[in-house]
Amino acid sequence: MGRRRSFSDIGYSFVIGGLALLALVIIVTPVVVVLAMSFGEGQSLKFPPTGFTFRWYAELFDASQSRQIHRAVGNSLEVAALSTLFGVLLGALGALGLSRSRSKAARLGESLFMSPLVLPGIAFGLAALMYFTFIGLRPSLGLIVAGHMIVTVPFILRTTGASLSQLDPALNDSSQSLGAAWLYTLRRVTLPLIAPGIAAGAFLAFMSSIDNVPVSLFLSTARTDMLPIRMWGMMESSLDVRIAAISGVLIAAAFVLMLLMEWTVGLTRRMRD
Protein backbone atom coordinates (compact mmCIF):
# COMPACT_ATOMS: atom_id res chain seq x y z
CA MET A 1 0.00 0.00 0.00
CA GLY A 2 1.45 3.34 -1.11
CA ARG A 3 2.18 6.16 1.28
CA ARG A 4 -0.55 8.77 1.45
CA ARG A 5 0.54 12.12 0.12
CA SER A 6 0.62 14.89 2.69
CA PHE A 7 -0.83 18.37 2.19
CA SER A 8 2.67 19.78 1.75
CA ASP A 9 3.44 17.24 -1.01
CA ILE A 10 0.24 18.13 -2.82
CA GLY A 11 0.96 21.84 -2.44
CA TYR A 12 4.49 21.40 -3.72
CA SER A 13 3.28 19.46 -6.79
CA PHE A 14 0.63 22.09 -7.45
CA VAL A 15 3.13 24.98 -7.30
CA ILE A 16 5.74 23.23 -9.44
CA GLY A 17 3.10 22.15 -11.95
CA GLY A 18 1.69 25.67 -12.09
CA LEU A 19 5.12 27.20 -12.66
CA ALA A 20 5.87 24.65 -15.39
CA LEU A 21 2.55 25.43 -17.07
CA LEU A 22 3.22 29.17 -16.82
CA ALA A 23 6.68 28.73 -18.36
CA LEU A 24 5.18 26.65 -21.18
CA VAL A 25 2.56 29.33 -21.89
CA ILE A 26 5.21 32.07 -21.95
CA ILE A 27 7.34 30.06 -24.39
CA VAL A 28 4.56 28.86 -26.69
CA THR A 29 2.33 31.96 -26.83
CA PRO A 30 4.66 34.11 -28.99
CA VAL A 31 4.99 31.23 -31.46
CA VAL A 32 1.21 30.86 -31.69
CA VAL A 33 0.78 34.63 -32.12
CA VAL A 34 3.26 34.92 -34.98
CA LEU A 35 1.81 31.85 -36.72
CA ALA A 36 -1.69 33.29 -36.45
CA MET A 37 -0.58 36.63 -37.91
CA SER A 38 1.10 34.90 -40.85
CA PHE A 39 -2.32 33.67 -42.04
CA GLY A 40 -4.14 37.00 -41.57
CA GLU A 41 -5.67 38.91 -44.47
CA GLY A 42 -4.52 42.32 -43.21
CA GLN A 43 -1.91 44.35 -45.11
CA SER A 44 0.29 44.74 -42.04
CA LEU A 45 1.16 42.81 -38.91
CA LYS A 46 -1.84 42.88 -36.61
CA PHE A 47 -3.14 40.70 -33.81
CA PRO A 48 -5.74 39.28 -33.64
CA PRO A 49 -5.64 38.69 -37.41
CA THR A 50 -8.68 39.12 -39.64
CA GLY A 51 -9.65 36.35 -42.03
CA PHE A 52 -7.50 33.45 -43.18
CA THR A 53 -5.28 33.31 -46.25
CA PHE A 54 -2.11 31.70 -47.64
CA ARG A 55 -1.38 34.86 -49.64
CA TRP A 56 1.69 35.89 -47.68
CA TYR A 57 3.28 32.47 -47.97
CA ALA A 58 2.62 32.54 -51.73
CA GLU A 59 4.27 35.97 -52.00
CA LEU A 60 7.15 34.81 -49.84
CA PHE A 61 7.96 31.90 -52.19
CA ASP A 62 7.42 34.03 -55.30
CA ALA A 63 10.88 34.85 -56.67
CA SER A 64 9.73 38.07 -58.36
CA GLN A 65 8.05 39.55 -55.27
CA SER A 66 10.55 38.39 -52.65
CA ARG A 67 13.87 38.49 -54.51
CA GLN A 68 15.67 40.37 -51.72
CA ILE A 69 14.38 37.96 -49.09
CA HIS A 70 15.54 34.97 -51.15
CA ARG A 71 19.00 36.49 -51.49
CA ALA A 72 19.15 37.04 -47.73
CA VAL A 73 18.03 33.45 -47.13
CA GLY A 74 20.72 32.18 -49.49
CA ASN A 75 23.39 34.21 -47.70
CA SER A 76 22.21 32.99 -44.28
CA LEU A 77 22.16 29.35 -45.36
CA GLU A 78 25.62 29.65 -46.92
CA VAL A 79 27.07 31.28 -43.81
CA ALA A 80 25.37 28.77 -41.51
CA ALA A 81 26.59 25.80 -43.55
CA LEU A 82 30.19 27.03 -43.79
CA SER A 83 30.43 28.14 -40.17
CA THR A 84 28.99 24.81 -39.05
CA LEU A 85 31.40 22.84 -41.27
CA PHE A 86 34.49 24.68 -40.05
CA GLY A 87 33.08 24.74 -36.53
CA VAL A 88 32.74 20.94 -36.54
CA LEU A 89 36.38 20.58 -37.55
CA LEU A 90 37.62 23.02 -34.93
CA GLY A 91 35.21 21.99 -32.16
CA ALA A 92 35.70 18.24 -32.62
CA LEU A 93 39.49 18.58 -32.73
CA GLY A 94 39.39 20.85 -29.70
CA ALA A 95 37.24 18.40 -27.77
CA LEU A 96 39.55 15.52 -28.68
CA GLY A 97 42.59 17.47 -27.52
CA LEU A 98 41.02 18.65 -24.27
CA SER A 99 39.71 15.16 -23.42
CA ARG A 100 43.25 13.78 -23.40
CA SER A 101 44.37 16.05 -20.57
CA ARG A 102 43.08 16.80 -17.08
CA SER A 103 45.54 19.62 -16.43
CA LYS A 104 44.60 23.13 -15.40
CA ALA A 105 45.74 24.41 -18.79
CA ALA A 106 43.20 22.13 -20.49
CA ARG A 107 40.41 23.35 -18.26
CA LEU A 108 41.42 26.94 -18.97
CA GLY A 109 41.39 26.20 -22.67
CA GLU A 110 37.89 24.73 -22.40
CA SER A 111 36.70 27.86 -20.58
CA LEU A 112 38.14 30.05 -23.32
CA PHE A 113 36.40 27.96 -25.97
CA MET A 114 33.07 28.36 -24.15
CA SER A 115 33.48 32.10 -23.46
CA PRO A 116 31.58 33.28 -26.60
CA LEU A 117 28.39 31.88 -25.01
CA VAL A 118 28.91 34.08 -21.94
CA LEU A 119 29.86 37.34 -23.64
CA PRO A 120 27.01 39.70 -24.62
CA GLY A 121 26.30 39.18 -28.31
CA ILE A 122 26.21 42.86 -29.18
CA ALA A 123 29.58 43.43 -27.48
CA PHE A 124 31.12 40.50 -29.33
CA GLY A 125 29.77 41.74 -32.68
CA LEU A 126 31.24 45.21 -32.12
CA ALA A 127 34.55 43.74 -30.96
CA ALA A 128 34.71 41.54 -34.07
CA LEU A 129 34.08 44.53 -36.33
CA MET A 130 36.77 46.62 -34.60
CA TYR A 131 39.30 43.78 -34.71
CA PHE A 132 38.77 42.92 -38.37
CA THR A 133 38.91 46.63 -39.28
CA PHE A 134 42.12 47.04 -37.29
CA ILE A 135 43.87 44.26 -39.23
CA GLY A 136 42.67 45.74 -42.52
CA LEU A 137 39.74 43.47 -43.41
CA ARG A 138 36.43 44.84 -44.61
CA PRO A 139 33.01 43.33 -43.80
CA SER A 140 32.25 40.46 -46.16
CA LEU A 141 30.58 37.07 -46.29
CA GLY A 142 33.85 35.41 -45.29
CA LEU A 143 34.16 37.56 -42.17
CA ILE A 144 30.57 36.75 -41.22
CA VAL A 145 31.43 33.05 -41.50
CA ALA A 146 34.44 33.58 -39.22
CA GLY A 147 32.37 35.54 -36.70
CA HIS A 148 29.58 32.95 -36.67
CA MET A 149 32.09 30.12 -36.35
CA ILE A 150 33.48 31.62 -33.15
CA VAL A 151 29.95 31.74 -31.70
CA THR A 152 28.94 28.24 -32.86
CA VAL A 153 32.09 26.26 -31.92
CA PRO A 154 31.13 26.09 -28.20
CA PHE A 155 27.96 24.11 -29.04
CA ILE A 156 29.97 21.50 -30.94
CA LEU A 157 32.70 21.42 -28.30
CA ARG A 158 30.13 20.86 -25.54
CA THR A 159 28.23 17.99 -27.14
CA THR A 160 31.38 16.33 -28.49
CA GLY A 161 33.05 16.61 -25.10
CA ALA A 162 30.01 15.01 -23.48
CA SER A 163 30.22 12.08 -25.90
CA LEU A 164 33.94 11.68 -25.26
CA SER A 165 33.37 11.64 -21.50
CA GLN A 166 31.09 8.60 -21.95
CA LEU A 167 33.54 6.80 -24.22
CA ASP A 168 35.18 3.79 -22.59
CA PRO A 169 38.98 4.34 -22.74
CA ALA A 170 39.42 0.58 -22.91
CA LEU A 171 38.15 0.64 -26.50
CA ASN A 172 40.97 2.88 -27.68
CA ASP A 173 43.49 0.97 -25.59
CA SER A 174 42.35 -2.33 -27.09
CA SER A 175 42.61 -0.94 -30.61
CA GLN A 176 46.15 0.32 -30.01
CA SER A 177 47.21 -2.90 -28.27
CA LEU A 178 46.17 -4.81 -31.38
CA GLY A 179 48.58 -2.73 -33.45
CA ALA A 180 46.26 -0.03 -34.83
CA ALA A 181 47.80 3.41 -35.36
CA TRP A 182 46.23 6.35 -33.54
CA LEU A 183 44.78 7.72 -36.78
CA TYR A 184 43.16 4.38 -37.62
CA THR A 185 41.76 4.19 -34.07
CA LEU A 186 40.42 7.70 -34.37
CA ARG A 187 38.78 6.98 -37.72
CA ARG A 188 37.37 3.53 -37.01
CA VAL A 189 36.67 3.60 -33.27
CA THR A 190 36.50 7.08 -31.73
CA LEU A 191 34.75 9.10 -34.44
CA PRO A 192 31.93 6.58 -35.11
CA LEU A 193 31.15 6.43 -31.38
CA ILE A 194 31.10 10.22 -30.85
CA ALA A 195 29.40 10.99 -34.18
CA PRO A 196 25.96 11.50 -32.54
CA GLY A 197 27.43 14.13 -30.22
CA ILE A 198 29.10 15.89 -33.15
CA ALA A 199 25.85 15.80 -35.13
CA ALA A 200 23.88 17.25 -32.21
CA GLY A 201 26.40 20.06 -31.83
CA ALA A 202 26.36 20.73 -35.58
CA PHE A 203 22.56 21.05 -35.49
CA LEU A 204 22.67 23.51 -32.59
CA ALA A 205 25.47 25.46 -34.30
CA PHE A 206 23.55 25.66 -37.59
CA MET A 207 20.37 26.91 -35.93
CA SER A 208 22.34 29.40 -33.83
CA SER A 209 24.01 30.78 -36.97
CA ILE A 210 20.74 31.13 -38.89
CA ASP A 211 19.25 33.58 -36.37
CA ASN A 212 22.44 35.27 -35.18
CA VAL A 213 21.80 39.01 -35.20
CA PRO A 214 24.73 40.78 -33.43
CA VAL A 215 27.56 39.38 -35.57
CA SER A 216 25.55 39.70 -38.79
CA LEU A 217 24.56 43.26 -37.90
CA PHE A 218 28.13 44.49 -37.56
CA LEU A 219 29.83 42.43 -40.28
CA SER A 220 27.24 42.47 -43.09
CA THR A 221 26.99 44.90 -45.99
CA ALA A 222 24.39 45.62 -48.66
CA ARG A 223 25.84 42.76 -50.73
CA THR A 224 25.89 40.33 -47.81
CA ASP A 225 22.35 40.92 -46.60
CA MET A 226 21.44 38.35 -43.94
CA LEU A 227 17.95 37.06 -43.18
CA PRO A 228 17.66 38.39 -39.58
CA ILE A 229 18.84 41.83 -40.73
CA ARG A 230 16.41 41.80 -43.66
CA MET A 231 13.55 40.88 -41.32
CA TRP A 232 14.56 43.66 -38.93
CA GLY A 233 14.55 46.19 -41.75
CA MET A 234 11.12 45.05 -42.95
CA MET A 235 9.80 45.32 -39.41
CA GLU A 236 11.06 48.91 -39.07
CA SER A 237 9.86 50.12 -42.46
CA SER A 238 6.54 48.49 -43.30
CA LEU A 239 5.42 45.80 -40.81
CA ASP A 240 5.22 43.48 -43.82
CA VAL A 241 3.19 40.36 -43.05
CA ARG A 242 5.77 38.31 -44.92
CA ILE A 243 7.90 38.67 -41.77
CA ALA A 244 5.39 36.46 -39.98
CA ALA A 245 5.39 34.07 -42.93
CA ILE A 246 9.20 33.83 -42.75
CA SER A 247 8.89 33.13 -39.03
CA GLY A 248 6.32 30.44 -39.74
CA VAL A 249 8.64 28.71 -42.21
CA LEU A 250 11.57 28.93 -39.76
CA ILE A 251 9.46 27.53 -36.93
CA ALA A 252 8.23 24.62 -39.06
CA ALA A 253 11.73 23.86 -40.37
CA ALA A 254 13.27 24.01 -36.89
CA PHE A 255 10.53 21.74 -35.50
CA VAL A 256 11.02 19.14 -38.24
CA LEU A 257 14.81 19.23 -37.90
CA MET A 258 14.55 18.96 -34.11
CA LEU A 259 12.33 15.89 -34.39
CA LEU A 260 14.73 14.38 -36.91
CA MET A 261 17.73 15.00 -34.67
CA GLU A 262 15.88 13.66 -31.64
CA TRP A 263 15.00 10.50 -33.54
CA THR A 264 18.49 9.94 -34.99
CA VAL A 265 20.95 11.09 -32.29
CA GLY A 266 18.84 11.81 -29.18
CA LEU A 267 19.29 15.59 -29.18
CA THR A 268 17.66 16.13 -25.77
CA ARG A 269 19.94 13.58 -24.10
CA ARG A 270 23.02 15.07 -25.77
CA MET A 271 22.15 18.53 -24.49
CA ARG A 272 21.49 17.19 -21.00
CA ASP A 273 24.76 15.23 -20.71
> What is the model's pLDDT at position 227?
87
Q: Based on the number of CB atoms within 10 Å of its own CB, is 227 exposed (0-12), middle (13-18) or buried (19 or more)?
A: buried
Residue 194 C-beta-side C-alpha neighbours within 13 Å: 34
Over 50: is that where the pLDDT of 1 sits? no
Read off the pLDDT of each residue in 20-29 and give the average, rounded to a whole number: 87
Over 60: is that where the pLDDT of 247 sits? yes
Encode pLDDT of 159-177 as tens digits: 888 888 777 777 777 777 7
Read off the pLDDT of each residue in 226-247 and give the average, rounded to a whole number: 83
For residue 268, what pLDDT band results from cuts at 50, 70 and 90?
low
When mean pLDDT is compared across 31-35, 178-182, 214-218, the lowest value belongs to 178-182
Q: Based on the number of CB atoms within 10 Å of its own CB, is 151 exposed (0-12), middle (13-18) or buried (19 or more)?
A: buried
For residue 81, what pLDDT band results from cuts at 50, 70 and 90?
very high
Reduced 3-state DSSP string for 175-226: HHHCCCCHHHHHHHHHHHHHHHHHHHHHHHHHHHHHCCCHHHHHHCCCCCCC
CA distance 232 to 146: 22
Percentage, residues of the chain above pLDDT 90 = 4
> What is the model's pLDDT at position 266?
67
Encode pLDDT of 44-63 as tens digits: 777 787 888 888 888 888 88
Q: Are 249 and 31 in contact (CB under 8 A)?
A: no
> What is the model's pLDDT at position 85?
92
CA distance 130 to 161: 32
Encode pLDDT of 123-158 as tens digits: 888 888 888 888 888 878 888 888 888 888 888 888
